[in-house]
Amino acid sequence: MATIELDNITKMFGKHVAVDGLSLAVPSGSVYGFIGPNGSGKTTTLRMIMNILYPDTGRIRIFGETLTPLLCDRIGYMPEERGLYRRMKVRELLLFLGRLKNGKDITTHVDRWLQRLDLTAWANKKVETLSKGMGQKVQFIATVVSHPELVLLDEPFTGLDPVNTEVIKDAILELQAQGTTVIFSTHDMSMAERMCDFIFMIFKGRKVLDGTLASIQDQYATDTIRIRTRDGAAVLRDLAGVERLKDYGQVQELRLGPNGDPHAILRTIVERTRVESFDIVKPSLHDIFIRIAGAEAQEVEHA
């Protein structure tokens, strides 16, 4: 069963089309990653799912029902632009936000989450005394404290150090294990690859990718060679059948053109230098993202 069904939704701001005919089905209990460049429509889509913005056309169904304000109590939402009442105490604030969602057993959930995220000692401190990372964790607790069935997290890892990133990542996976459906938007492609059951990419308001990581990679075929040679990128220029070369220092990636033959390319490279490793790989999510979004500037073009 799909927790979220978006059916051909469109949202315009003046003449700008923010979301264009988007359809999407998010299965229950899954972790769904929303990726896309800035301004592509991720936040607008999440706001429409939260009933904060209304679509101009199309239909949104949540938990099998047409979206109403009442259903939003069953959704936890952490917006990208987030803040907290700085003069409230942490526990008091979490109780307030949990009760605002009509949550049950809020006191128990607040105490459990504060303990889970190592914030019990800060429960009676004012929010303004927290560090940025602690504030982010409090924000996360505020999102999940009402025990929602669906959690929407807009850029949940932005501004977090690696330790807190792991803490939040584990908490998200724990929610999934309890049956919660989680959607999060991110610019961290490796995080999306590791955490998400499904990945959805929106670009200029339109859906350009949707599916499991494997199915997405299959769409892009095995057109990438990852190679390590004794002489590095210098000997990999002017190879017939290679469209682009990306130099990572120790390793280089070659993207094959339509007529690129890995065997012929390998023969040419062996004639030039000593090959230390040679893999035909599927493109990473990062590569796919860049191919679609067109940010090619960092790539080394053919000489």
- Which pair of tokens denotes residue 248? 């990572």
Q: Which of 40, 53, 19 is nearest to 187 (CA)?
A: 40
Distance in angstroms (rounded) separating the CA atoms of residues 9 and 123: 41
Nearest 5°: phi and psi at 41?
Answer: 125, 5
Please pick, from the candidates 15, 16, 87, 263, the single residue that binds other proteins as defined by CB under 8 A: 87
- Options 32-40, 86-94, 155-163, 229-237: segment touching other proteins (CB under 8 A): 86-94
Angle made by CA atoms 288, 292, 298, in degrees to the nearest 5: 75
Specify the residue for token string 């990438």.
224
Q: Tell me if 102 contacts other proteins by CB under 8 A.
A: yes
Q: Tell me if 101 contacts other proteins by CB under 8 A.
A: yes
CB closer to other proteins out of 72 and 227: 72
- Options 56-64, 82-90, 196-204, 265-273: segment touching other proteins (CB under 8 A): 82-90
Q: Tell me if 173 contacts other proteins by CB under 8 A.
A: no
Q: Tell me if 293 contacts other proteins by CB under 8 A.
A: no
Distance in angstroms (rounded) separating the CA atoms of residues 134 and 75: 23
- Options 84-92, 181-189, 218-226, 294-302: segment touching other proteins (CB under 8 A): 84-92
Instruction: Let me know: does 156 contact 80? Beta carbons within 8 Å.
Output: no
Minimum distance of other proteins from residue 288's CB (angstroms): 30
- Options 116-124, 136-144, 206-214, 290-298: segment touching other proteins (CB under 8 A): 136-144
Q: Tell me if 47 contacts other proteins by CB under 8 A.
A: yes
Size of the site for other proteins (CB under 8 A): 30
Q: Which of 70, 75, 73, 63 is nearest to 102 (CA)?
A: 73
Q: Tell me if 82 contacts other proteins by CB under 8 A.
A: yes
Please pick, from the candidates 15, 81, 121, 259, the single residue that binds other proteins as defined by CB under 8 A: 81
Task: Please report, for residues 92, 168, 211, the alpha-carbon distance to residue 124 in angstroms, rounded to integers and kept in the order given.
Answer: 8, 22, 44
CB closer to other proteins out of 91 and 101: 101
Which H or E run includes 225? strand 224-229
Please pick, from the candidates 26, 72, 119, 227, the single residue that binds other proteins as defined by CB under 8 A: 72
Please pick, from the candidates 2, 10, 12, 51, the single residue that binds other proteins as defined by CB under 8 A: 51
- Cβ contacts of residue 200 below 8 Å, gap of 6+? 24, 32, 33, 34, 35, 207, 209, 210
Instruction: Let me know: does 213 contact 200? Beta carbons within 8 Å.
Output: no
Which H or E run includes 272? helix 262-272
- Options 111-119, 137-145, 189-197, 218-226: segment touching other proteins (CB under 8 A): 137-145
Minimum distance of other proteins from residue 90's CB (angstroms): 15
Q: Tell me if 99 contacts other proteins by CB under 8 A.
A: yes
Distance in angstroms (rounded) separating the CA atoms of residues 20 and 205: 5
Q: Tell me if 77 contacts other proteins by CB under 8 A.
A: yes
- Options 26-34, 97-105, 253-261, 264-272: segment touching other proteins (CB under 8 A): 97-105
Please pick, from the candidates 6, 141, 142, 201, the single residue that binds other proteins as defined by CB under 8 A: 142
Instruction: Let me know: does 231 contact 285? Beta carbons within 8 Å.
Output: no
Residues that bind other proteins (CB under 8 A): 47, 50-53, 69, 72-73, 75-79, 81-88, 96-97, 99-102, 139, 142-143
